Structure 1
């Protein structure tokens, strides 16, 4: 049986992971806000074009692609780290 060692995550990996969770979570909350705002009647008489609504509408447009790019970057960094660790453990 092999002995498992604790994996060390770099600071950049942790920052990217929390960034993904925050940006995607905020975008999902914006989706829910739009749904509940529509149900409450905030969109009648062009109500979505004033106040905080334009920000809530544009947040998922930019937040979800940014979250996707952060996930890709996190996967690349994790793959590089794991390949380095595997290469060092073979020596």
Structure 2
């Protein structure tokens, strides 16, 4: 157990919030699209090539990897910020 007092917590910066909300938003939209595709077939949608369905089918394939990259970027930014704060302390 550590007895060292690390001092006050670092404030959350705007870039941290932006990365977190973008990753969360893309993940939620992708999951909703994923379930829409799963539920569309039993509900009688037989043609996924017209209307908004091509976007609904492709969106999880693009948005989930982007959300993963945003989470990795958020972790890197966080680690760099904490490392700089610890070097200065």
Scaled by the length of structure 2, what TM-score is found? Answer: 0.89
Tell me the equivalent position of 1:69.
69
Q: CA RMSD in A?
A: 1.3
Structure 2 unpaired stretches of 5+: none
Per the TM alignment, residue 4 of structure 1 is displaced from its structure 2 partner at its CA by 5.0
Secondary structure of the structure 2 residue equivalent to 1:42 = coil
Question: 1:55-86 CA distances to partner (integer Å, 9 max, x unpaired)?
Answer: 00010011011001101111110000010111
Task: Specify which of 17, 26, 32 is matched with residue 14 of structure 1.
Answer: 17
Structure 1 unpaired stretches of 5+: none
Higher helix share: 1
Scaled by the length of structure 1, what TM-score is found? Answer: 0.87
Distance across 2 between alignment mates of 1:21 and 1:87 = 31
